[in-house]
A = this chain, B = another copy of it.
Amino acid sequence: MAKQAEKLSQFDRYLQRHGLKNTPERKVITREVLAIHEHFDPEALQSRLRRKGKRVSRATIYRTLDHLIKGGLVRKTSLDDEHKTSFYENTLVRSHHEHMVCIACGAVIEFTSDEIESLQDEICDEHRFKPIRHTHQILGYCRRCH
Contacts and interface: CB of A to CB of B under 8 A. Distances in A.
Interface stretch (A8-16, A53-61, A126-134): A126-134
Interface in A38-93: 76, 78, 81, 86
Interface of A: 76, 78, 81, 86, 100, 102-103, 109, 111, 113, 115-116, 119-120, 123-124, 127-143, 146
Given A78-B78, A81-B76, A135-B137, A142 B116 contact: no
A132 to B, nearest CB: 4
A138 B76 CA distance: 14
Contacts of A141: 129-130, 132
B143 A139 contact: no
A16 B76 CA distance: 42
A103 to B, nearest CB: 7
Given A100-B124, A129-B140, 17 more contacts: A100-B131, A103-B132, A115-B119, A116-B119, A116-B120, A124-B140, A128-B142, A128-B143, A129-B142, A129-B143, A130-B140, A132-B139, A133-B139, A134-B136, A134-B138, A134-B139, A136-B136
